[in-house]
């Protein structure tokens, strides 16, 4: 089990967002991609060190 907290702040210029539903699925995926990449990398590196072998790759 891997647990923890990771977050990111996103600034949207020239647009006012009142509800998360105002984003298209494509926009959500684009905004979340850098955070998911970081989670993937951190999980791989931590498991590589902890297990002393090739790290665990997450698949989304």
Segments making up each domain of the chain, as ranges? 23-51
- Report the 10 Å Cβ neighbour count for 28: 11
Mean pLDDT for 48-56 is 89
- Over 70: is that where the pLDDT of 10 sits? yes
In this prediction the pTM is 0.67
For 12-41, write each residue's pLDDT tens digit.
Answer: 899 999 998 999 999 999 999 998 998 889
Our CA angle for 13, 10, 42, nearest 5°, is: 150
Percent residues over pLDDT 70 in the chain: 97
Residue 7 has pLDDT above 90, yes or no: no
């Amino acid at each position: 089990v891997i647990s923890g907290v990771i977050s990111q702040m996103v600034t949207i210029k020239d647009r006012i967002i009142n509800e998360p539903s105002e984003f298209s699925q494509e926009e959500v995926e684009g905004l979340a991609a850098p955070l998911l990449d970081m989670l993937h990398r951190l999980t791989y590196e931590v498991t590589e060190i902890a297990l002393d072998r090739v790290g665990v790759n997450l698949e989304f």
